[in-house]
Amino acid sequence: MKKPGRPTDALVQSIDIYPTLAKLSGLTPPKDINGKNFLDLLNNPSLPGPEYALSYNQSYGPPFRGKPRMYAVTLRSRVYRYIQWQKDLAEGEILFRELYDHRSDPGETNNLAASEPKVIKHFEKILREHLD
């Protein structure tokens, strides 16, 4: 990198750090890892980067043992964060949904899921494509 850092709106995740550091170090990461090298974004922050960031989370609840009580599948775009809480990751029974607009609500305090059905449908379609 030849220039000081500049801000970017590109979406990267912690899972992307390993393949990026490996590339910077001249190493070849294993082909079966999920992270993506974002070295091009470091060198050119004006690049668009990925359109979405996908992540999963398990909620065990008290007493924090046994099978998870529910799973959260999260899809983040530059504008929204969509969270789909499911009883089981494989069967996909949806318990509830959350949708936040980061332009007006960066603290994620106003759940828009009930008032934005078109946005919810759009994110559900993208999730199905990623999970199938």
Domain coordinates in residue numbering, the chain = 14-43, 53-131
By CB atoms closer than 10 A (0-12, 13-18, 19+), residue 84 is buried
Report whether CATH 1.10.3470 matches the domain 53-131: no
pLDDT tens-digit profile of 33-49? 888 888 888 888 888 88
pLDDT tens-digit profile of 64-120? 556 667 788 899 999 999 999 888 766 668 888 999 999 999 999 999 999 999 999
pTM value is 0.76
pLDDT tens-digit profile of 92-104? 688 889 999 999 9
Q: 3-class SS at 82?
A: strand
Count CA within 13 A, CB hemisphere, residue 59: 12
Higher pLDDT, 104 or 19: 104
Beta pairing, strands 70-76 & 94-101: unpaired
